[in-house]
Structure 1
Amino acid sequence: MPRAAPDYIVIFDGGSRGNPGPGYGSYRLHTRDGREDVRRLEFGEAMTNNEAEYRTLIAALDDLIGRIEQTGKDPSAFTVEVRGDSRLILTQLRGEFRVRAAHLRPLWEAARARLSRFREARLVWQPRKASVKDLGH
């Protein structure tokens, strides 16, 4: 039986200019009814690519949760599909890989806490080429 389409899709990507270096990211929010929004982020501080990936995802989920709550609804009524090209971040969030780097653990915990607010959160890896097409970088 095929899965129902998610209520929301979040596509995220983050990186740093240097590694570590100034962090940046972008994300795209899609709704089931076809609305979408792209946001670009500059973190303004030195961080690793993985830190920027997590911080971008957290910002995207905060944005989505805020939008849902502004309508008087609870995120637990909705499904979200998160797409990204970072295998490390997605496998850590699925619990398939441990978070060994101490500086990533708080970010992992923050992302997991936000994902747990939804009825269902699907984590989907996509090729880098798809992220570039979706986000423009």
Structure 2
Amino acid sequence: MRDPAPKSESPDTAYEIIFDGGAIGNPGKGYGSFVIRNADGMVKRQRVEFGDWVTNNQAEYRTLIEALLWLQTFAGECARSVAITIYGDSVLVINQIEGNWKVRNSKLMPLFSEATALLAQFGEVRLKWQPRAASVRVLGH
């Protein structure tokens, strides 16, 4: 499901991640997509599928996790020097990761833990909510 990140290129120090996940039915067939870009342009664009009985919030978290895993592999040992600005239209995911809201859903707790552990591998991290229309403009869904 995840493409291996190229290891021969050295990463820049600043990246943007734009992510969005959803489910056809809720729960239903989960999907997501993300774009990772730096000052030179797009580094990675990927669509992911998560199977059946996935909620929209699970798909949002899982899409963010996929993006972070890819960037972590791409950055390699330089990950601590990478600054990331993350844009998403999920008010829930952004606020939970920023610590503004508690994670109350037991199915989201492990996803929250995985996402925050991955974020801790990078240098500076900023999360920004954006309207759905902005995500659609970049990701196409």
Pair in the same fold by TM > 0.5: yes
Cα RMSD after superposing both structures: 1.1
What is the distance in 1 between the residues matched to 2:33 and 2:136? 10
> Mean Cα displacement is larger for which, 32-41 or 119-128?
32-41
Q: Which residue in the other structure is 1:132 paired with?
A: 136
Q: Secondary structure of 1:17's partner?
A: strand
TM-score (norm 1): 0.91
Q: Which residue in the other structure is 1:3 paired with?
A: none
Counterpart amino acid of residue 12 in structure 1 = F
Q: Secondary structure of 1:15's partner?
A: strand
What is the distance in 2 between the residues matched to 1:11 and 1:99? 22
Deviations 1:70-91 (A, max 9, x none): xxx3211110011000011000
Number of corresponding residues: 129
What is the distance in 1 between the residues matched to 2:26 and 2:89? 17
Deviations 1:43-102 (A, max 9, x none): 122110000000000000000111111xxx321111001100001100000000000001
What is the distance in 1 between the residues matched to 2:84 and 2:136? 21
Q: Does 1:88 align with 2:100?
A: no
**How far did residue 35 of structure 1 move?**
3.4
Q: Which runs of structure 2 are paired with 1:37-48 in the superposition (5 Å)?
A: 37-48=44-55
Q: Does 1:52 align with 2:59?
A: yes
Structure 2 spans left out of the alignment, 5+ residues: 1-12
Q: Secondary structure of 1:102's partner?
A: coil
Runs of 4+ off more than 2 Å: 32-37
Structure 1 spans left out of the alignment, 5+ residues: 1-5
> Mean Cα displacement is larger for which, 11-20 or 27-36?
27-36
What is the distance in 2 between the residues matched to 1:59 and 1:121? 16
Q: Which residue in the other structure is 2:3 paired with?
A: none
Q: Which runs of structure 2 are paired with 1:1-137 in the superposition (5 Å)?
A: 7-69=14-76, 73-137=77-141
Counterpart amino acid of residue 103 in structure 1 = K
**How far did residue 34 of structure 1 move?**
2.2
Percent same amino acid at aligned positions? 47
